[in-house]
Amino acid sequence: MQKKFILVINCGSSSLKFSLINPVSSETVLTGLAEQLFSDEASIKLKLENKVIEKQIHAPHTHNIAIEILVQQLTELNFQEQIFAIGHRVVHGGEKYNLPTLINNEVKQTIDKLSRLAPLHNPANLTGINACEKVFDNLPQVAVFDTAFHQSIPSKAFIYGLPYELYEEHAIRRYGFHGTSHYFVASQAAEFINKPIESCNFISAHLGNGCSITAIKDGKSIDTSLGFTPNEGVMMGTRSGDVDSGIIFYLVNQLGYSTEEVNKMVNSKSGLLGISGMSNDCRTLEEAMTGEPNCRATLALTVFSYRVAKMIASYTASLTDLDGIIFTGGIGENSMFIRSSILSHLTLLNFTVDEDKNKQARFGNKGKITTDSSRSCWVIPTNEEFVIAQQTQTLLSSTLSTKTVGQ
Ligand code: ADP
């Protein structure tokens, strides 16, 4: 049977997202999610063109069991034999990995070592890799790192204003995340304007539960707002983004919070959720907005938009030319209110939203949302899974014989 699919795996701490993609035709034939792993509610859902399959995940409710059920289903659907490789999203590649990498024991050890820098993500990614190794024993596996696209940022953008030894001895620097997403939307925008990506300059805003802004010069990331951890830069769903570091010490030393409580506060109880006191979901807040100055839903969205706009404007210091801004991620792809609000702060940079086009570019529709006389701003739905499949295919084509790689 012809082997033409790549299985893309994105393993979170209690979830497992997967897609089956033909990297040549760009066709996604199956997507799915296993969630609430390690609980009695654990379940797995597979979506095909005309069908949804849902199963409970039996004890011990682990990633391994989820992957076993996935393989069973792929076999029943006759897909199993058509898979020629597995592409994994791996969050942290440190300074070592700036390209997709064929996974072997040494790579696994490095991903494990880098867990220090991404304690919530890298161990989960490694679990996914090991679980796949067990059930797909002969298939090549490739790691595509979320940090890789940002390895091109120069030292003036990645060094913190801290003692330099912290970088030299402990690798404390800006790494940036969402790299695969920024790369994908930048490539798409380059196609829109019919220019090679190598001569394009963009500012891309990935606005989902996590948010990051990236300055892209000549197709390469040259600065990005997420830093050493995914809690720097703009405010997010539940994360604070930038705060005065003095506040942390005040909370601990004067108000008696433990460092663990503060960690939880800035990562899980802040951002849209923290300000609104209601939800981290942009849709819920938009519905609750009253326009009153003391309405906390309005305040949360106003602060969010203003901070994103300021970050975008700050990146004009990194670029000498700007082809346009790109919005992506759940909020960037869907919230016309947030997009319009962000662009309203950027009139000095010659951005004027076209509200009709802004309304059209939602729910998977892409396109330009600014007026003809404005600088361009596009909405582009991200597709990290597709990039992972494509990069896995490209790497394998260059390292393995075409016999084992899908044709
Ligand atoms: P993640 O970072 O978890 O992948 P997503 O990219 O899916 O998150 O984005 C989730 C965010 O997108 C949520 O805040 C959600 O409210 C927002 N979102 C999704 N659809 C809409 C919509 N129609 N209007 C406004 N916000 C939306």
Please tell me the least confidently modeled range out of 121-125, 323-327, 336-340: 121-125
Q: Is 81's pLDDT higher than 80?
A: yes
Catalytic, 146? Answer: yes
Q: Are residues 396 and 348 in the same domain?
A: no
Q: Give me the mean pLDDT over the 10-29 stretch.
A: 92
Closest ligand 1 atom to residue 282 Cα is 16
Domain-located, residue 258: yes
Claim to verify: residue 394 and residue 353 sit in the same structural domain = no
Nearest residue (by CA) to ligand 1, atom 4, is 208
* Averaged pLDDT of the chain: 94
Do 16 and 134 belong to one domain?
Answer: yes
241 and 106 belong to one structural domain: no
Shared domain for 235 and 330, answered yes or no, is yes
Give the gyration radius of the chain's Cα atoms.
22
DSSP letters, 213-253, are EEEEETTEEEEES--SSTTSSS--SS---S--HHHHHIIII
Are both 248 and 276 inside the same structural domain? Answer: yes
Pocket around ligand 1 at a 6 A CB cut-off: 208-210, 237, 281-283, 286, 329-331, 334-335
In a domain, 202, yes or no: yes
Tally of domains in the chain: 2
Atom of ligand 1 nearest to the CA of 285: 16
Backbone angles phi, psi at 232, to 5 degrees: -110, 165
**302 and 371 together in one domain:** yes
Task: Indicate whether 401 pLDDT > 60.
Answer: no
Most informative mutation of 14, 282, 286 for ligand 1 (most atoms within 8 A of CB): 282
Structural domain of 247: 194-375
CATH, residue 267: 3.30.420.40
Q: Of 137, 146, 244, 281, which residue is the catalytic one?
A: 146
What spacing in Å lies between the alpha carbon of 232 and ligand 1's midpoint?
19
Per-residue model confidence as pLDDT tens digits over 159-201: 999 999 999 999 999 999 999 999 999 999 999 999 999 999 9
- In this model, does residue 330 exceed pLDDT 80? yes
* Ligand 1 center from residue 364 Cα (angstroms): 12
The confidence score (pLDDT) of residue 400 equals 64
137 CB-near residues (< 8 Å, 6+ apart): none
Which residues have C-beta within 8 Å of that of residue 394, sequence separation ≥ 6? Answer: 100
Residue 181 domain-assigned? Answer: no
The answer to whether residue 170 is domain-embedded is no
* CA separation for the pair 158, 165 (Å, rounded): 14
Domain check: are 78 and 223 in the same one?
Answer: no
Nearest atom in ligand 1 to 284's CA: 16
Res. 405 pLDDT band, cuts 50 70 90: very low
- What is the structure's pLDDT at 404? 46
| Domain co-membership, 252 together with 349 | yes
How much is the pLDDT for 399? Answer: 81
Instruction: Please give the Cα distance from 359 to 381 (Å, whole number).
Output: 15
Same domain, 214 and 347: yes
Let me know if residue 382 belongs to a domain. no
Is 168 inside any structural domain?
no
The answer to whether residue 381 is domain-embedded is: no
Task: Classify residue 57: in a domain, yes or no.
Answer: yes
